Every structure is written in structure tokens, then in C-alpha cells.
Amino acid sequence: MTHHDPLQKADFGAIYDQPDPRAYFSTLQPFGYVIPQYGADAFTRLLSVLPIRDVSPTVLDVCSSYGIVGTLLRSDLRLSDLYAHYTDPTTSAQSPQTLREADRKLIAERAKGAAPRVVGLDVAPNAVAYGVEIGAIDAGVTDNLETDDPSGRLTELLAGVDLITTTGGVGYVTERTFDRLLRSCPKDVWVAAFCLRTYDYHPIATTLARHGLRTERMSRTFPQRRFTDEDERQWAISRVRERGLDPEGKEADGYYHADLYLSRPLDATETRHVDALLADAF
Ligand SMILES: C[S@@+](CC[C@H](N)C(=O)[O-])C[C@H]1O[C@@H](n2cnc3c(N)ncnc32)[C@H](O)[C@@H]1O
């Protein structure tokens, strides 16, 4: 299912907009794709410390796909549970509609008492519809902010956002998307983004700074997934070297690694460094 030209990142586009996430999980499982769980653990911790306007905070998950981070934030299910569920032979035999109904029940049964509200943004309409239908995300939009300004509906949703998150999204989305988001979000929104070390986050951090947010990078990095093959490994190693980074112990060991960036208002009252905020979150 993957398409891979020599020396570039593998293309998983075919699994991003299916009627349900079975192909997503069965394709990514062999590569140990784990970043949504690190994301959910980090975002849950951040939600417990950021100042919120309402009774429950609102997250905007950028590149939300089938609502995977939403499921992990809103229920006590872990990513390992989702892999087991979506690759189970019983699940494989179900029709998309039967699966949706079962998943909706599962998420409702496993819902956390104090769950955040999650808005999903992704250009994949089937994935977004699935996420909304099973209750992984409370609302979903398919605007492409790389090319267009937000729709009226998205603009309304953005007005209530406390935390913008993304895992596996930077590269697909750039400073163009973040600029458009920040124009409509509250001035004190926080942004927590995992970004592969093969990509440069500086253009996004610079854009966020123009909107009054200061960015910190966590000291540790996070394995995202194994490389699909030797060509991809070589591509990633040369990209991080070009960026002046050392691949030893990270990409050289066969894994993409992501940095975690946290951006918050200059006058934020919670001022501990992101390393301290997330010290024991994982
Ligand atoms: C690698 S997946 C990551 C999905 C999920 N966040 C995760 O960690 O499993 C990348 C996602 O980015 C979405 N995407 C690509 N271009 C986009 C854009 N311009 N705006 C929003 N989403 C986009 C794709 O549809 C896909 O769902």
C-alpha cells in the first residue's frame, strides 16, 4: 500500500481517506507508528496546566485523520488497544457501518469523566466523517488552510480553542496553515506540535511569534516510526545532517524522531519550561 520513490519519505496517502481506519492501522503497525500516543500523553498533561476559559477545554487537532488523537484524549483507550482492535480478524470481517457502530459504543463506554472537547481539522473527508460519527472528535472540518482562508464554520469553531495540537502533520501543513489558524484563535491559545527532525519548524515558530506566542523545544525527542526501507533511512539521515543535527542514537538506529514544540503567549502565567511541564508525562 506504500508508494516509495528512492530517497524520499514513504507516501502513505492511500490509507489517509478510507471509510474507516483499518488500513491505516494494519499498514502502520509493522513500522511501529507510535507518535499519536506520545501526543495524547503530552496534550493531556498540557490541558491540566493551561488556563482555560470554559468548564472543559477545547483542542483543535490539526491533521486529525480518523480522530486517533481525539480517541486517546477522550477515552482511556491506548494506541496499543486501537492497533489490536483494528487488526483483529473479527473487526476485519465487519462492514464499515457495523464497525462504526461498534466503535461509537466502544468510545462511549471508555469515555473519560472529564474529557476535553476535540475539533478535528483534516483534508480527508472520509476520515473526518468517521471520527465525528464514532465520537472521537466532537466536530470535524476539511478546510485546506494551505490554500484557502478558513470557512465561516471553522472560524466560529476556532474562537473557542484553548490548545492546538498536531502529530504527524508538519510537512503536510506549514506556516501558512498556522498563520490562518492564529488569525481566528483566541490570543492566549497554546500550540503543541510534534515535528519530525527531517522538517524545519522555524518558519512555523516565526509565524507563531508574529502572533505573540513564544516557542520552546523539549530536550528529548520521540521515536515516530521505523523506516520502511534503507532508502528512506538514508533520506532521513541526510536530511537531519543537512539541518546540522546528529542522527546517532536516533535516525541512525532506524527510527524517525520527532521534536515537541510548545508555543504560548509571552504573558502566560504558567512559565515552567516544557521539559518541566512534561517531565513525567510519558
Ligand atoms: C501522517 S497522517 C497523521 C494523522 C494523525 N495525526 C496521526 O498522528 O496518526 C497526516 C494527515 O495529514 C492530513 N493532511 C494532509 N494535508 C493536509 C492539510 N493541508 N490540512 C490538513 N490536513 C492535511 C492527511 O489527510 C493525513 O490524515
Give pLDDT tens digits for 177-227.
999 999 999 999 999 999 999 999 999 999 999 999 999 999 999 999 999
Minimum-distance ligand 1 atom for the alpha carbon of 64:
6
| 194 close to 38: Cβ distance less than 8 angstroms | yes
Pocket test for ligand 1, best of 123, 128, 165, 170 (most atoms within 8 A of CB): 123
> What is residue 144's predicted lDDT score, i.e. its pLDDT?
98
Q: Check whether 1 has a pLDDT greater than 50.
A: no
Handedness of CA 145, 151, 153, 155 (dihedral sign): positive
Find out whether the beta carbon of 82 lies less than 6 Å from any atom of ligand 1.
no
Find out whether the beta carbon of 50 lies less than 6 Å from any atom of ligand 1.
no
Nearest CA to ligand 1 atom 27: 65
Which of 100, 106, 26, 107 is closest to 74 using CA atoms? 107
Find out whether the beta carbon of 79 lies less than 6 Å from any atom of ligand 1.
no
As a whole number, mean pLDDT of residues 124-141 equals 98
Compute the distance from residue 24 Cα to the ligand 1 centre, in Å: 12
Instruction: Give 5's pLDDT tier (boundaries 50, 70, 90).
Output: low
Which grid cell is 131? Answer: 471520527
pLDDT per position as a tens digit, 16-66: 999 999 999 999 999 999 999 999 999 999 999 998 766 789 999 999 999
Alpha helices in 4-134 (DSSP H): 22-28, 35-49, 68-74, 79-87, 89-92, 96-109, 125-133
Q: d(Cα 5, Cα 96) in Å, to the nearest integer?
A: 31
Minimum-distance ligand 1 atom for the alpha carbon of 166:
6
Which of 39, 36, 58, 277 is closest to 188 using CA atoms? 58
Compute the distance from residue 127 Cα to the ligand 1 centre, in Å: 10
| 58 close to 116: Cβ distance less than 8 angstroms | yes
**In the CATH scheme, what is the code of domain 24-272?**
3.40.50.150
Nearest CA to ligand 1 atom 21: 122
Burial class (CB in 10 A: 0-12, 13-18, 19+), 226: middle
User: How many CB atoms neighbour CB 35 within 10 A?
Assistant: 22
Can you give the residue ranges of every domain in the chain?
Answer: 24-272
CA–centroid distance for 253 within its chain: 23
Minimum-distance ligand 1 atom for the alpha carbon of 39:
8
Find out whether the beta carbon of 118 lies less than 6 Å from any atom of ligand 1.
no
Q: d(Cα 176, Cα 178) in Å, to the nearest integer?
A: 6
Find out whether the beta carbon of 199 lies less than 6 Å from any atom of ligand 1.
no
Burial class (CB in 10 A: 0-12, 13-18, 19+), 61: buried
User: How many CB atoms neighbour CB 145 within 10 A?
Assistant: 21
Q: Check whether 3 has a pLDDT greater than 70.
A: no
Angle at CA of residue 55, ends 52 and 59, nearest 5°: 55
Which of 249, 188, 175, 243 is closest to 214 using CA atoms? 188
Compute the distance from residue 126 Cα to the ligand 1 centre, in Å: 12
Alpha helices in the chain (DSSP H): 22-28, 35-49, 68-74, 79-87, 89-92, 96-109, 125-133, 152-158, 175-184, 202-210, 230-242, 274-277
Which grid cell is 98? Answer: 457495523
pLDDT per position as a tens digit, 68-125: 999 999 999 999 999 999 999 999 899 999 999 999 999 999 999 889 999 999 999 9
Nearest CA to ligand 1 atom 12: 63
| 166 close to 120: Cβ distance less than 8 angstroms | no
> What is residue 57's predicted lDDT score, i.e. its pLDDT?
95
